[in-house]
Amino acid sequence: MRLHPSVAAHVEEVLREVLRFTGPADVVVSRYFREHPKLGARERGAVAEGVFAVLRNKLAYASFAESGQGSQMRRLALLGLADAAGVDAIAGLTADEQEWLQRFTQIDRASLPLPLRANLPPWLLERLVQREGEEGALALAEALNQPAPLDLRVNILKAKREEVMSALAEAGITAELTPYAPLGIRLKKKPALQNMPLFRDGLIEVQDEGSQLLAQIVGAKRGEMVVDFCAGAGGKTLALGAAMRNTGRLYAFDVAEKRLAKLKPRLSRSGLSNVHPGVIAHENDAKVKRLAGKIDRVLVDAPCSGLGTLRRNPDMKWRQTPESVVELNVKQAAILAGAARLIKPGGRLVYATCSLLPEENEEIAAAFLSAHADFTLVPMKEVLAEQKIALEMEDYLKLQPHLHQTDGFFAAVFERRK
Ligand SMILES: C[S@@+](CC[C@H](N)C(=O)[O-])C[C@H]1O[C@@H](n2cnc3c(N)ncnc32)[C@H](O)[C@@H]1O
């Protein structure tokens, strides 16, 4: 079925704003939909997918759009829509546009030069090639340029994974178990979950399998004192609270009040009552100092470049720069050092990011260890064995979309000497 003829113009209009990279693309798209309430669900889907296809393939499309007629923004919009919905679904094309689009959709991407195949900014491609070689970098880039599947986590306080699988099957939703996370379910399509009782009653949460694994390697247990230091909207907080079986105390800190506020409705759906959210001014806030030396486990899910989440946020690769990464490195080291003070002897500190860059990952972990003689590294191999997670890792957790079908994540576990 053809899309409404206005869809290409909507994609063009959203692209004009999104490609200025003044804010997150998903925020711009949501605002546009609020301002255009008459757009139907199918059209919205096509507009969003078309815009995201352009963000994913910007370099290749900009090169394709050098030829053809009409404005460059229209050509980009048409390429994005053709990717998202197929050329035949686009209404209102001129004969020339139709012919031009057909030509580009038939291009064998494998014949393009590396930068156009990878669709990454040159500085990032260079760093990935240095580390992985051309072939490895390309495999990673191609996986990062695919939309992510929809992963769910079952809330063990309310349901078993098998029960949720049956309920999904009854609702006609195709699902499979995630390979590594014991409570994860992967959906092939993206159904609207918001109105399903499974979601409304807190039996499931949306959470990437990689993020579920990060929460699991914290190893939080019943009755413990745990801090989620950079809790944000609480994706990992909810998983930690459930792992603690709603006992003990789980502090959810963040400097961003707005993000933390999003945790409230999720908490009430989840049935957790062991979570204590707290806005902090910075990593040395009095609320943090009061807990010094008292905490069993702290998760630092640090602010980072987000380059491991390009499947969901493809605009991040165009918005980050080498300079912004350096700024983040300063914050990451400071937050980790601040959070370390909370750990009691024998307790564990987990440093995590959704970045793929060693300077945000291994290098921060190594610098922390050399400055904190009272902490040792717990090799990830041991942590994964404790948690019975069937993943091959050495010292650190390094999840990569092309190898593990998750977002890109890094984690290091440190233990305070007794
Ligand atoms: C990667 S996000 C956290 C995502 C969250 N853990 C989740 O699973 O949804 C990083 C968070 O760190 C917060 N942050 C930044 N600086 C901070 C600081 N000094 N102390 C605590 N949190 C901070 C940001 O507001 C952001 O919400």
179 and 232 housed in the same domain: no
ipTM of the shown complex: 0.99
21 and 130 share one domain: no
In this structure, are 176 and 241 located in the same domain? no
Q: Are 212 and 258 in contact (CB under 8 A)?
A: no
Domain that includes residue 137, residue range: 114-145
CB distance 314 to ligand 1 below 6 Å: no
Question: What mean pLDDT is predicted for residues 185-206?
Answer: 94
Phi/psi of residue 293, nearest 5 degrees: 75, 10
Catalytic residues: 354
Q: Taking the complete model, does pTM exceed 0.90, yes or no?
A: yes
Both 333 and 370 in one domain: the answer is yes
CA distance 64 to 233: 39
For residues 53 and 84, the answer to whether their CB atoms sit within 8 Å is yes
Token pair listed for 256: 């961003």
Is residue 293's pLDDT more than 90? Answer: yes
Q: Tell me, what's the pLDDT at 68?
A: 80
pLDDT, residue 70, reads 83
Q: Are residues 359 and 394 in the same domain?
A: yes
Residue 2 within a domain: no
Mean pLDDT of all residues belonging to the chain: 96
Q: Are residues 28 and 99 in the same domain?
A: yes
* pLDDT tens, residue by residue, 98-140: 999 999 888 998 999 999 999 999 999 999 999 999 999 999 9
- Predicted local confidence at residue 366, as pLDDT: 98
Would the pLDDT of 383 be above 90? yes
Q: How confident is the model at residue 1 (pLDDT cuts 50, 70, 90)?
A: confident
* Matching residue, tokens 């890094």: 410
Say if residue 204 is exposed, middle or buried (CB neighbours under 10 Å; 0-12, 13-18, 19+). buried
C-alpha 255/C-alpha 45 separation (Å) is: 33
Q: Are residues 289 and 253 in the same domain?
A: yes
Is 1 domain-assigned? no
* CB within 8 Å of 278: residues ≥ 6 apart: 251, 252, 253, 287
pLDDT, tens digit (0-9, with 9 covering 90-100), for 299-322: 999 999 999 999 999 999 999 999
Q: Which residue is closest in CA terms to ligand 1's atom 26?
A: 232
Same domain, residue pair 11 and 55: yes
pLDDT of residue 96: 93
User: Cα separation of 349 and 344, whole Å?
Assistant: 10
Residues 262 and 131 in one domain: no
Q: What does the pLDDT look like over 242-287, one tens digit per residue?
A: 999 999 999 999 999 999 999 999 999 999 999 999 999 999 999 9
The DSSP code sequence of 118-138 is: HT--HHHHHHHHHHHHHHHHH
Per-residue pLDDT tens digits for 216-227: 999 999 999 999
CATH number of the domain that 256 lies in? 3.40.50.150
CA of 300 to the centre of ligand 1 (A): 8
pLDDT of residue 217: 98
User: Residues 163, 223: one domain?
Assistant: no
Does any ligand 1 atom lie closer than 6 A to the CB of residue 335?
yes
Q: What is the largest CA-CA distance in the chain?
A: 75
Cα 260 to middle of ligand 1, angstroms: 9
**Does the pLDDT value for residue 67 go beyond 90?**
no
Nearest ligand 1 atom to alpha carbon 256: 25
| Residue 80 sits in the same domain as residue 22 | yes
Count of structural domains, the chain: 4
CA dist., res. 47 & res. 185, Å (int): 27
CB atoms within 10 A of CB 222: 11
CA of 127 to the centre of ligand 1 (A): 25
374 is in an annotated binding site: no
25 closest CA partner among 80, 75, 79, 67? 80
* pLDDT on residue 305: 98
Q: Which of 107, 136, 168 is the last residue of a domain?
A: 107
What is the number of helices (H) and of strands (E) in the chain? 20, 12
Q: Is the residue at 67 inside a domain?
A: yes
